[in-house]
Structure 1
Amino acid sequence: MTAKLYKNNFASLSTKQLRLLTELLEYACQSLELSESKRERVEKSYQSVGEWLAKSEDKIFDNAEIYPQGSQRIGTTTKPPFRAEFDLDFICFLPNAEHIHPDECRRKVIDRLKENGNYDGLVSELNRGCRINYADNFHLDITPGIPDQNNANEYGAISVPDKKLKAWKASNPKGYAEDFDIIANMVPAYSDEKDFRYATASMESINVEDLPKHQVFKGILRRAVQIMKRHRDLLFHEDEQYQGKAPISIILTTLASRAYRDAVTNQLYGNELEVLLTVVESMTSYIETKVVDSRIEIWVTNPKNEHENFAEKWNVDTKRVEAFHYWHTNFVDKLRELASVQSLPLIRKKLDQLIGEKPSEAAVDKHFEFINESRAENKLFVAKTGAISVAATTTPVKANTFFGKLL
């Protein structure tokens, strides 16, 4: 069933208007990612950390393995809007640490890192591990993990320490990431064969010779998660009512992936934007309630470890539940407003409110960069209807910088 958000607000827009919105959101998401040089620095940094831990003479570090989890692993990294550092998460898997207390395990990892002069002064303690803060660039959050202690019977299942509970907690970042990848690689079915070919070309990272140079989402699910996270960061910045209660990324990601899986499986779509909006509108229906020890609890279950509830804090702090629904309502409202404006300057203002000034500015700049490239190559033309396209017609477009109405 088509999302009301799309049907009531976007369905009447022209194909070119819908594609422009898609293009701008895609360009904005690209601007939120790690640059290639920063990505290389991150990889070198966590590899060095892994090598240092593995070289310890303490037997619990024998065969230690460090690997990315969260947004770094599944491709949804999003630059925080009010600081320079990216939040990047890693697991330090210690197959020989099953016999020690979780607090001791955390402490051994922290102490080992501080033995290295390169990390001493950069390491701080977290509830489930520690952080290495590379100032003004990124920080690595490192969580120790041991073989699964909860009989989850799932590939990749592990247990991680929790300082507050003084216990091992269920987790499965590897299994979760593989499940997310499978879902993200599902291609929606489109009523228009051409739109299907756009999507397939994007997912396979190939060019289709006879398609115009149109910027599609490089993975609708991943882009949806990035937009959600960015909007959340803006919405809750310095928010006094819900300070510290913003929905965590793993909840947004899990609900979005469940919604995307079912949306792609069950219906045809007219375009990519309709898919994204359907995911946004339906994601709340994947919040569960379960009876646990005679209590009714809210659950967002790790799809690859049934013992892990990503929303466990919601059951002891109702403000977190309120904060999630406050975010979702505001997010839907901001998306709806995108459909109500008919010129690029006004769209830019609405994008500012949705994802921030810098990403929206980058998106518009990239849009005009493409237009100018096409003009320079004499590939951009005006059809008899007045619509701009990259298809050859008889009237080349003259250079201008006018931010006029959407076509």
Structure 2
Amino acid sequence: MIDIFKDYILQREELLARIAQELQLDKTRLERMETAYNTVADLLKKDSDFFNDLVIEIYAQGSTRTGTTVKPINDKDFDLDTVLHIYDPYYKHSPEDIYNALVKALEKDSYYKAIMEKKKRCVRLNYKSDFHMDILPACMPNSFEKEVIKIPEKALKNWSSGNPKGFSIWFLSAANTASEPLLRKNFDSLVKAQVETEKLPQEVYFKTPLQRATQLIKRYRDIYFQDKDYRVSSIVITTLLGQLYQGENSIFETIDNVVKRIKDNFSVAVNQGIRFKIYNPVNPEEDFTDSWTSSHYSAFYSFIADFHIKWQNLKFSFETSKEDYIKLFGEGIYKKALNEQIVAFSKSSNNVFTKASSLITTGAALTNVQGNINSNTGIKNESHHNFGGKY
């Protein structure tokens, strides 16, 4: 049976997967959001003024579609981005027409009228739960292309192009180039080594290193830009990771290598006196950095460089990297994931400190007259969830 605490690389990888799993939106929340946009779609299909004669679909885009969701920090609402895909050529309508038709259809319903907020080119529904939904109306570029969309510009006077379905296919294709992910390779051994009560979904070990890497970097982005301007967008992070990923088989290697490649590419562009540009991989005409100022570039590089420095400290041991884990992902998330890992694998380990920590965490620890922590005799120790010692 595997002793994960004797294999730092495997333990670190398993911990990173647990942290990422803890960060992502849970299945119940995702199902609630899916129900929300399907309900809106059903309402629009019954609209006699505009939509009932059209074939339409509402679907998620962004992180929900790529499997890289991250819970907002500080109890903020999750931003669910959706597309109202109208399967009709855009030249039959104006951007203003489809936007106004969406607003009008929702205003007919008292509930949606009460929670609706008009944005520049989309409509936001502010649900009382823990998310809001932005609905971006879109049409087809012609009668043949089913995935590419034409979307209103912010002034609602012109159209621009998009392809959220194509982007997610591109990203997931890149993610699946990993030949033998470390956790998937060790799946049977990891499962057998855990206590009987541990019920982790297979997704913890089977989600790709690229998806996990994206989640973890986005988490530090949220922490880093809490009190800073020019926040780097998720689409920029996701695109760069997808473009520079080379099939690494671990979360750690993916982040370590890709972040270095980002830094190197940025430095090359600066040294050559050219702008560092990030293009949409499924729509080369779209430059995600076209509106960036020098302040945007400075904030972007400072964030990447800062992340890279902290990440280097994770290479050696938990004794030297504990504070960096906390700075990168948050103290609560890190300690919860680490505590759960220790409890899960403590029975398969011969490490006395690990076993004692597991007993204390679960509230099953007793201290005998010799001062040794055990589960059989002595005075009961109070349970806690603030473990941070050696590991």
Pick closer, same or farther for the CA change 1:334–1:297 going to 2, 3 Å: closer
AA of the residue aligned to 1:306: P
Check conservation: 2:175, 2:208, Cα contact below 8 A: yes
Gaps of 5+ in 2: 195-203, 356-372, 376-380
Check conservation: 1:287, 1:300, Cα contact below 8 A: no
Distance 1:33 1:46 in 2: 20
What does residue range 23-102 of structure 1 map to in structure 2 within 5 Å? 23-60=14-51, 62-96=54-88, 98=90, 99-102=92-95
**346, 350, 362: which one aligns with 1:382:** 350
Distance 2:220 2:64 in 1: 19
Counterpart position of 2:365? none
TM-score norm. by structure 2 comes to 0.78
- Per-residue CA deviations over 1:26-83 (Å, capped at 9, x if unaligned) read 1111111222221221111111011111211133551111111100111011011122
Task: Please provide the CA RMSD for this pair.
Answer: 3.4
Pick closer, same or farther for the CA change 1:359–1:111 going to 2, 3 Å: farther
Pick closer, same or farther for the CA change 1:170–1:209 going to 2, 3 Å: same
**221, 228, 237: which one aligns with 1:252:** 237
AA of the residue aligned to 1:180: F
Structure number having the greater helix percentage: 2
**Paired residue total:** 346
TM-score norm. by structure 1 comes to 0.75
**232, 238, 243: which one aligns with 2:221:** 232
Return the offset for 1:340.
6.0
Check conservation: 2:19, 2:337, Cα contact below 8 A: yes
Gaps of 5+ in 1: 1-13, 189-195, 291-295, 389-396
Return the offset for 1:107.
2.3
Give 3-state SS (helix, strand or coil) of 2:104's partner: helix
Counterpart position of 2:343? 369
Distance 1:197 1:277 in 2: 15
Counterpart position of 1:106? 99
Pick closer, same or farther for the CA change 1:213–1:156 going to 2, 3 Å: farther
AA of the residue aligned to 2:62: G
Pick closer, same or farther for the CA change 1:257–1:210 going to 2, 3 Å: closer
Check conservation: 1:172, 1:305, Cα contact below 8 A: yes
Return the offset for 1:386.
10
Distance 1:253 1:123 in 2: 29
Q: Does the alignment pair 1:278 with 2:257?
A: yes
Q: Does the alignment pair 1:185 with 2:176?
A: yes
Q: Does the alignment pair 1:128 with 2:113?
A: no
Counterpart position of 2:197? none
Give 3-state SS (helix, strand or coil) of 2:112's partner: coil
User: Identity of aligned pairs, percent?
Assistant: 28
Pick closer, same or farther for the CA change 1:289–1:167 going to 2, 3 Å: farther
Pick closer, same or farther for the CA change 1:168–1:328 going to 2, 3 Å: same
Check conservation: 2:213, 2:251, Cα contact below 8 A: no
**289, 303, 328: which one aligns with 2:281:** 303
Counterpart position of 2:330? 356
Counterpart position of 1:115? 108
Pick closer, same or farther for the CA change 1:318–1:148 going to 2, 3 Å: farther
